[in-house]
Amino acid sequence: MYRFEYYRPTSVAEAVALLREKGEGGKILAGGTDLIPQMKERGRHPKYIVSLSLVKELRGISFDNGDGLKIGAGTLMAQVAEHPLINERFNVLAQGAELIGSLQTMNLATVGGNVCNAAPSADAVPAFIVMDSEVGIVGPGGSRTMPMWQVFEGPGRTALKPDEILTEVRVPTPTQNSAGVYIRHCPRKELDIAIAGVGVYLGLDSNNTISHARVCLASVAPVPLRATKTEEYLVGKQPSEAVYEQAGQIASGEARPITDMRGSAEFRHVLVKVLAIRCLRQAVDAIGVRTTR
Amino acid sequence: MAKQSFKLKVNGSEYEVYTEPNRPLLDVVREDLGLTGSKEGCGTGDCGACTMLLDGAPVTTCLVLVGEAENRDITTVEGIAKNGVLHPVQAAFVEFGALQCGFCIPGMIVSSVALLDRNPHPTEAEIRYGIAGNLCRCTGYTKIVEAIQAASSRM
Ligand SMILES: Cc1cc2nc3c(=O)[nH]c(=O)nc-3n(C[C@H](O)[C@H](O)[C@H](O)COP(=O)(O)OP(=O)(O)OC[C@H]3O[C@@H](n4cnc5c(N)ncnc54)[C@H](O)[C@@H]3O)c2cc1C
Ligand code: FES
Ligand code: FES
């Protein structure tokens, strides 16, 4: 690896001040599972590194029924995947976190790193987006909040300025009779990058009509993509195989995939449809309602 | 970039190294501390040959800058046997012939020990998941899984 200056601030404020003072060409380091391979193999050579390893305030998970779930940006994927309350009430987040590489990867990789690396294939991101998550951002001018789906501007590009730090992800408490599901398709079961992924969150009202729907597509656009036409279609429908089929078709149309070494655009369109149908079926199953044939 | 001083706690011993901060923990442990059990296979987090425990959790140390591991408990394969007695996992690997070239084994042992620490009686599926981040080109994994099962039944 090329040489760089190495700083370990102990607070968010100190980290932001450093980024501001040192100026361009720096990089924030969290778990390093994206950044270090990029520095070793993909020609990324930051002048300086601001490590978050000593910034304790960025780590931890808390929950309050009113405020919802808060996950510090420095929290490890392993902690999200194992957290009892997340598994019980925010299960889709555990599903996403559990997919991040091997156990060794999950013990390094952070939530903030998965978001800020801004890969269209980031597996924790669709889960957060379908749960309507917001992110907290702190910079020299203070703090701001934005819906997670608006963070992404392109592969590797986010709305954060170079001297801003993502501090936490906030997830509202899901309503009764709701469930989220994330499914990705990979050639291998472990340690691979998705060819396509679909995340779904559904809420049903007392008549078992879909009252909330959120759909996010992974690896089929330059950014994790909210499938808003699919969401609009689903709201007001009764869950049925015919509805899943039609929703899958619409989602497939919303995808904007490219052809690369992992799969063709054509294949990805088909995958989106298949995965969306499976997600919808599983979400309705998880709520405990029977799908009409 | 100036060299910096880093305090490392490896297998219960404290070390101070004076080095460039751009070096991975794996390289410092092998080259500066002379603990060459841990191996570098890929250098990019995929193979698990460099696995060490950081505060008890397995991590790929080719991705960990030396400074990130400062003041944390680091365990390498050299720290698994106690007082010259092999850990039950190590003894079972020998007994079952769960190794061929041996390159993956230090990481494999460390991951297996971490698995049994957390889950003393894993199912076969749990064992396979526990070592999914450790690639082996030689054994086909069957003997490794059998050895871990045997170790689990003896602990
Ligand atoms: C073997 C292996 C397998 C993997 N498998 C998967 C997989 O299946 N699915 C998947 O989605 N990913 C996978 N990854 C990628 C990676 O592990 C995840 O994206 C991880 O969540 C990145 O987190 P990190 O803490 O390691 O980030 P880092 O590498 O430390 O940082 C990533 C980027 O985010 C920036 N950043 C980090 N934290 C902040 C912050 N708080 N504020 C602002 N910017 C920040 C950094 O500057 C950098 O640009 C894999 C990686 C490896 C090595
Ligand atoms: S050498 Fe670290 S994972 Fe391969
Ligand atoms: S024994 Fe040769 S790689 Fe595992």
- Residue A63 DSSP code: E
Structural tokens at position A237: 């429908």
Is the pLDDT at B23 greater than 90, yes or no? yes
Q: State how far residue B92 is from chain A, nearest Cα, in angstroms.
A: 23
List the Cα angle A115/A54/B21 in 5-degree steps. Answer: 90
Q: Do B63 and A29 touch (CB under 8 A)?
A: no
What is the per-residue pLDDT for A187? 77
Percentage of chain A with pLDDT > 70?
98
What is the per-residue pLDDT for A189? 62
Q: Do A104 and B21 touch (CB under 8 A)?
A: no
Pairing of strands A134-139, A157-158: unpaired
Q: Do A108 and B63 touch (CB under 8 A)?
A: yes
The per-residue pLDDT of chain B, averaged, comes to: 96
Q: Is the CB of B139 under 6 A from ligand 3?
A: yes
Q: State how far residue B87 is from chain A, nearest Cα, in angstroms.
A: 21
The CATH class that applies to domain B88-153 reads mainly alpha
Longest CA–CA separation in chain A, Å: 62
Element (H, E) at A81: helix A77-82
Chain B residue closest in CA terms to A1: B22
Q: Do A40 and B130 touch (CB under 8 A)?
A: no
What is the per-residue pLDDT for B1? 61
**Best mutation site among A100, A106, A158 for ligand 1 pocket (most ligand atoms within 8 Å of CB):** A100
The CATH class that applies to domain B4-77 reads alpha beta
Report the alpha-carbon distance of residue B63 to residue B43 in Å, rounded. Answer: 7
Atom of ligand 1 nearest to the CA of A125: 11
Q: Give me the interface pTM, i.e. the ipTM.
A: 0.96
What is the Cα A81 distance to its own chain's centre? 13
In this complex, is the C-beta atom of B59 within 8 Å of any C-beta atom belonging to chain A? yes
What is the per-residue pLDDT for A191? 62
Q: State how far residue A200 is from chain B, nearest Cα, in angstroms.
A: 26
Mean pLDDT of all residues in B35-49: 97
Give the pLDDT band (50/70/90) at residue B74.
very high
Distance A1 CA to ligand 3 centre (A): 27
Q: Do A33 and B21 touch (CB under 8 A)?
A: no
* pLDDT, tens only, A257-282: 888 888 889 999 999 999 999 999 99
What residue ranges do the domains of chain B occupy?
A: 4-77, 88-153
- Residue A289 DSSP code: -
In this complex, is the C-beta atom of B4 within 8 Å of any C-beta atom belonging to chain A? yes
Report the alpha-carbon distance of residue B74 to residue A81 in Å, rounded. Answer: 23
What is the per-residue pLDDT for B86? 97
- Please tell me which of the candidates A6, A53, A105 has its beta carbon nearest to residue B60: A105
The per-residue pLDDT of chain A, averaged, comes to: 94
Q: State how far residue A272 is from chain B, nearest Cα, in angstroms.
A: 27
What is the per-residue pLDDT for A190? 58
* pLDDT, tens only, A49-94: 999 999 999 999 999 989 999 999 999 999 999 999 999 999 999 9
3-state secondary structure of A148: helix
CA distances from B88 to B34, B80, B120, B134 (A): 25, 10, 12, 19
Atom of ligand 3 nearest to the CA of B99: 1
Residues A251, A200: contact at Cβ < 8 Å?
no
Is the pLDDT at A167 greater than 90, yes or no? yes
Mean pLDDT of all residues in A140-146: 95
What is the per-residue pLDDT for A285? 95
Sign, CA dihedral A117-A26-A169-A109, equals positive
Find the helix packing angle between B142-154 and B88-96, rounded to 10°.
140
* pLDDT, tens only, A103-133: 999 999 999 999 999 999 999 999 999 999 9
Residues of A in contact with B141 (CB under 8 A): none
Give the pLDDT band (50/70/90) at residue A293.
low
Top-confidence residue, A65 or A138:
A138
- The residue type found at A89 is R
| Binding-site residues, ligand 1, Cβ < 6 A | A 27-35, 37, 73, 77, 99-101, 105, 108-110, 112-114, 116-117, 121-123, 160, 165-166, 191; B 45-46
CA distances from A236 to A48, A175, A226, A239, A243 (A): 52, 16, 19, 9, 11
How does A186-211 read in b/e, with b if 16+ C-beta sit within 10 Å? beeeebebbbbbbbbbbbbeeeeebb
What is the Cα A49 distance to its own chain's centre? 24
Pairing of strands B4-10, B73-75: parallel
Q: Do B68 and A32 touch (CB under 8 A)?
A: yes
CA distances from A148 to A135, B1, B135 (A): 6, 36, 35
Mean pLDDT of all residues in A149-159: 96
| Ligand with the closest atom to the CA of A115 | 1
Residues of B in contact with A1 (CB under 8 A): 22-24
Substitution target from B63, B72, B136 for chain A, most A beta carbons within 10 A: B63
- Please tell me which of the candidates B46, B63, B67 has its beta carbon nearest to residue A36: B63
Q: State how far residue A75 is from chain B, nearest Cα, in angstroms.
A: 14
3-state secondary structure of A283: helix
Lowest model confidence (mean pLDDT) among A188-202, B27-41, B72-86: A188-202
In this complex, is the C-beta atom of B58 within 8 Å of any C-beta atom belonging to chain A? yes
Atom of ligand 2 nearest to the CA of B133: 3
